[in-house]
Amino acid sequence: MNTINVLVVDDSAFMRKIITDILQSHPRIHVVGTARNGKDALKKIDDYNPDVVTLDVEMPIMDGITTLKEIMSKKPRPVVMLSSLTKEGADRTIESVSFGAVDFITKPSGSISLNIREKEEEIKTKVLQAVHANIPNLAEKQKKAPIVSTFTQQVKLNVRKTKSIVAIGTSTGGPRALQQVLTQLPKEFPSPIVIVQHMPAGFTQSLAKRLNNMSKIEVKEAEDGEILRNGTAYIAPGGYQMRVESRGSANIIRINKEAPRNGHQPSVDVLFESLATLSSYQVYTVLMTGMGNDGANGLITLKNKKKNTIAISESKETCVVYGMPQAAEKTNLVNFVAELPEISHVLIKQMKSRGEINGNE
């Protein structure tokens, strides 16, 4: 196995030392250097050419987000952000992921976390995973504006109520993928959208707020007991499982704190399995970039109970990590494999073919 060379960037000497010790306790990881701010980091990247960079969000002279933009535009490579768990920290972390960070780790007690060793396994795991990210995709998207489908701009919607629901599952690289898909949907989208994005508690609200500001549809963090409405996307809150239940003529969201499924809470499998109970609804599923296989078993359950389910997966060519879509495709139950800019197009075309949408390309 090849050694992974890492540059650790943090303005705290204590944090640099502890993170270095944590990483170097793994036999595959070697810390080639440390940097105290973004300006120092850019020089050290030239000097050491690390495979992965761990990057603090809040630093003097040049902060983490400014540094990240420079890295992804001029010296692209996997970057894992370290952030404090505050509202401002969450907002800036979500912003950093949208600018090309592969993943992030929360500091448990602020910028200088004396208890950072609580995150030891997560720090090592995320660095090991980051090295497999498709960085050319991240770097390319950093330079290009999202591709907007003319079809989704021109589509005209039926005024009648439809009985369909869209479910999206994603993980590593997901916030950028969600931005690409949700911003292409028209305001009068004729279905509710339920979303599982693997993310810890405290960050999904910032993600929903950011996506809502960019989208024509409403995007919000899901709340227990609320009734699903067409033209609204509901993101499962981090640290909870989300299900959809039928109550009379309406569908409601159920949010519960329970055991993780496959290490995930929220879990795509849990969401998909709940949709299998919606007997009178047409279900559309979308699985996009992410590590692991969450969603594949849920898709099997869903297809067994609702054979007319339409399943879409993101193609390898545009994934940051081709894990979850690949696992779904291996079930042989995926109907359409599409590159990221075309996913909303494929979804709307399928809804049009079933009479839920009127419109011509």
pLDDT at 271: 98
Q: What is the pLDDT of residues 180-228, one digit of tens each?
A: 999 999 999 999 999 999 998 889 999 999 999 999 999 999 999 999 9
| Residue 198 annotated to the active site | yes
3-state class of 327 per DSSP? helix
Distance CA 176, CA 172 (A): 9
Instruction: Please tell me which residue in 149, 164, 171, 344 is annotated as part of the active site.
Output: 171
Which domains does the chain carry? Answer: 4-134 (3.40.50.2300), 150-358 (3.40.50.180)
Mean pLDDT of the chain: 89
- Is there a catalytic annotation at residue 294? yes
Active-site residue flag, 267: no
In the three-class reduction of DSSP (H, G, I as helix; E, B as strand; rest coil), residue 264 is classed as strand
pLDDT recorded at residue 147 = 42
Helix (H/G/I), strand (E/B), else coil: 352: helix
E strands present in 12-163: 29-35, 52-56, 79-84, 103-107, 156-157
More confident residue, 131 or 358: 131
pLDDT digits (tens, 9 = 90+) for 301-331: 999 999 999 999 999 999 999 999 999 999 9
C-beta of residue 176 within 8 angstroms of C-beta of residue 141: yes
Which of 71-85, 154-168, 283-297 reaches the highest mean pLDDT? 283-297
Residue 63 DSSP SS3: coil
Which tokens sit at 352? 């049009």
Angle between helices 135-143 and 64-74 (to 10 degrees): 100
Catalytic residue of the set 40, 56, 103, 294: 294
Rounded Cα–Cα distance for residues 333 and 176 (Å): 25
pLDDT at residue 143 is higher than 50? no
Distance CA 287, CA 313 (A): 5
Residue type, 149: S
Dihedral (CA of 241, 243, 83, 90) sign = negative
Residues in Cβ contact with 5 at an 8 Å cutoff, skipping those fewer than 6 apart = 30, 31, 32, 48, 49, 50, 51, 52
* pLDDT number for residue 321: 94
- The set of residues, in sequence order, having a beta carbon less than 8 Å from that of 9 and lying 6+ positions away, is 34, 35, 36, 37, 38, 40, 41, 44, 53, 54, 55, 56, 59, 64, 67
Say what the pTM is: 0.89
Q: 40, 83, 111, 198: which one is catalytic?
A: 198
Residue 271: CB atoms within 10 A of its CB come to 26
**Spatial CA neighbour of 343 closest among 267, 260, 290, 286:** 286
Give whole-number Cα distances, 218 to 85, 99, 165, 182, 231, in Å.
Answer: 25, 22, 15, 10, 7
The pLDDT confidence band at residue 152, using thresholds 50, 70 and 90, is very low
